[in-house]
Chain A
């Protein structure tokens, strides 16, 4: 049987006193015919690509194809110990940007859930896993939890910037990462649901306004914020701060906000930052380079 709401999945996990990832693996196995081991192995392949993109991205300044960005992840990584935000947030944020930098340089990434938001989930889970001394297998399970949250968002709202703005990409990734971070840290399925709701509420309404239509400005920095916010949302949920609005209603609201967004703010580069004087000047400059 397919489950279509987070509430159903959370209840199933709470009832069996198990993790959301365990429920998700069982469901996936029933739907696809893959065994539990095959599902974990397949997700491990994705996790390995994530690890590679993180370590490559923080190791040096990698310019984007357009030349508009490069090195954001590397630069922030240099101040992870002395920065104001604290080491966990700084590590997660720089790793998130590092993966985005790899993406912008035509490197290999895992769409998570999209290419535009590909840094958030690896940034958060690799950092939280490292902080808590978790095994690769536990991080892979957390990735599966993030995937099932994303699936529910895709079914009941959208994951496409062209349909729902940045909230549907970086917002969804942040919610997915928050739920997975809670599971990795030993929180309950209910707390995972609250963390996802809190993270998604934090980014609700965010438009998609890429300068010159490229997945760079402001996307790379928004990946950093998505990661930082996911960790904060996980901490909130695990300190028993509840989301007043339940996760499924937050997801539905995000979809409705997305559909109500003017087309200028849905990946068309006709509004927001893309339509600023500087944004337009950069677009013109890049067009001339063609």
Chain B
């Protein structure tokens, strides 16, 4: 913790969890989708649903999806920007779902990469966590550069990616594997200290069993 965590950050109010955190969740969803999209279906859960309107959580999520930062004064006009960009936005509400954290949102994006569903929660003080991508359980915060590798669940891929990163002098801070069932598709989530090389998607593409690599920059 440094002094600028105490006096700072600069954010758009009124709430670090319900507004600034929501912008970061939207921005993460945008990076995870990694392509252009024309429709967003957003489900707000629990406190996000109950107090979201007064906190501007809905606008904040859309602002993030559009790529705005948590200190952008245009967040309040996010719906207009969405309209101008031709983005169709739908909201759904689930007021009390005990299975989820009080401040949870599911963001479903539809566009050039098909449909992708990203779920995250706002933990307080603007910190967030992505907890689910297309049904795969995840746990990453956007505080690190994050590499997501969509792959077959088979031996050797983790070692290949790890040695690739070692070769590029990229240090792994955290790592998690998630699969729905044995031998099926799996998701490898790697949080790194350094910025991954721009060529990573191409470099990993041809390895047998790797479907796709997504790079999510820090938010």
Question: Which A residues lie at the B interface, using CB under 8 A?
Answer: 24, 28, 31-32, 39, 42-43, 45-46, 49, 64-66, 68, 102-116, 118, 121, 143-144, 146-148, 150-151, 154-155, 159-160, 162, 176, 212-216, 269, 286-287, 289-290
Instruction: Tell me, in angstroms, the Cα distance from A24 to B6 when the chains sit together.
Output: 13
Q: Report Cα–Cα, A227/B89, bound state, in Å.
A: 42
In the bound complex, residues from chain A placing their C-beta under 8 Å from that of B192 are none
Interface of A is mostly: helix
Residue of B nearest to A118 (CB): B13
Give residues in B with beta carbon < 8 Å to A: 1-16, 19-20, 47, 50-56, 59, 71, 73, 75-76, 93, 124-126
> Beyond A39-B3, A162-B124, is A110–B10 a contact (Cβ under 8 Å)?
yes
Query: Given A108-B71, A151-B1 in contact, is the A66-B54 Cβ separation under 8 Å?
Result: yes
Closest residue of A by beta carbon distance from B49: A290
In the bound complex, residues from chain B placing their C-beta under 8 Å from that of A148 are: 3, 6
Chain B min CB distance to A121 (Å): 7
Q: Which residues of A contact B4 (CB under 8 A)?
A: 42-43, 46, 147
Instruction: Tell me the nearest residue of chain A to B7, going by C-beta.
Output: A147
Cβ of B14 and Cβ of A215 under 8 Å apart?
yes
Check A160 against B14 for contact (C-beta < 8 Å).
no
Whether the Cβ atoms of B3 and A108 lie closer than 8 Å is no
Name the A residues within 8 Å of B12 (CB-CB).
106-109
Contact A68 B3 (CB under 8 A): no
Q: Is the CB of B59 within 8 A of A106?
A: yes
Indicate if the CB atoms of A150 and B7 lie closer than 8 Å.
yes
Contact present for B53 and A107 (CB under 8 Å)? no
Residue of B nearest to A39 (CB): B3
Residues of chain A within 8 A (CB-CB) of B2 are 28, 31-32, 151
Given the known inter-chain contacts A65-B56, A213-B51, please indicate yes or no for A104 contacting B7, CB distance below 8 A: no
Residue of B with least CB distance to A49? B10
B124 neighbours in A (Cβ, 8 Å): 160, 162
Query: Contact: A106 with B3, CB < 8 Å?
Result: no
A287 to B59, CA, bound (A): 17
Check if B54 sits within 8 Å of A160, measured CB to CB: no
Name the one of B3, B14, B54, B76 contacting A151, with C-beta atoms under 8 angstroms: B3
* B9 proximity list for chain A (CB < 8 A): 110-111
Question: What residues on B are CB-neighbors of A116 within 8 Å?
Answer: 15
Q: Which residues of A contact B47 (CB under 8 A)?
A: 213
- Whether A43 pairs with B7 at a CB distance below 8 angstroms is yes
Residue of A105, A144, A162, A287 touching B3 (CB-CB under 8 A):
A144
Whether A106 touches B10, Cβ cut-off 8 Å, given contacts A32-B2, A160-B124, A213-B51, is: no
The complex places the Cα of A65 from the Cα of B18 at a distance, in Å, of 13
A108 touches B8 (CB 8 A): no
Return A21 CB to nearest CB of chain B, in Å.
10
17 contacts between A and B (CB under 8 A): A64-B14, A65-B14, A65-B76, A102-B13, A106-B12, A106-B14, A111-B10, A112-B8, A147-B4, A150-B7, A151-B6, A160-B124, A213-B47, A215-B14, A215-B55, A216-B54, A290-B53
- In the complex, what residues of B have CB within 8 A of residue A121's CB? 7
- State whether A214 touches B1 (Cβ < 8 A): no
CB contacts (< 8 Å) of A147 on chain B: these are 3-4, 6-7
Contact, CB under 8 Å: B10 / A150: no
A-side contacts of B19, CB under 8 Å: 106, 115
Give 6 closest A-B pairs by Cβ, nearest first.
A103-B13, A213-B51, A66-B54, A150-B6, A147-B3, A215-B14
Nearest B-chain residue to A214, judged by Cβ: B54
Q: How far is it, in angstroms, between the C-alpha of A112 and the C-alpha of B7 when the chains are bound?
A: 5
Chain B residues with Cβ under 8 A from A64's Cβ?
A: 14, 54
A287 touching B7, Cβ below 8 Å: no
A155 to B2, CA, bound (A): 11
**Contact across chains for A68 and B54 when beta carbons are under 8 A apart:** yes
Q: A106-B56, A106-B75 are in contact. Are A215 and B13 (CB under 8 A)?
A: yes
B13 to A, closest residue via Cβ: A103
* A104 and B16 contacting across the interface, CB-CB below 8 Å: no
Identify the closest chain B residue to A144 (Cβ). B3
List 4 additional A-B contacts (Cβ < 8 Å) besides A42-B4, A286-B54. Answer: A103-B14, A110-B8, A143-B7, A213-B51
CB of A46 within 8 A of CB of B10, answer: yes
C-alpha spacing A268/B3, complex, angstroms: 28
B11 touching A109, Cβ below 8 Å = yes
Verify B13–A154 contact, CB threshold 8 A.
Answer: no
Closest to B126 in A: A111
Instruction: Give the chain B neighbours of A155 by CB distance below 8 A.
Output: 1
Contact B125 A66 (CB under 8 A): no
User: A105–B2 Cα gap in the complex (Å)?
Assistant: 28
Q: Which residue of B lies closest to A286 (CB)?
A: B54
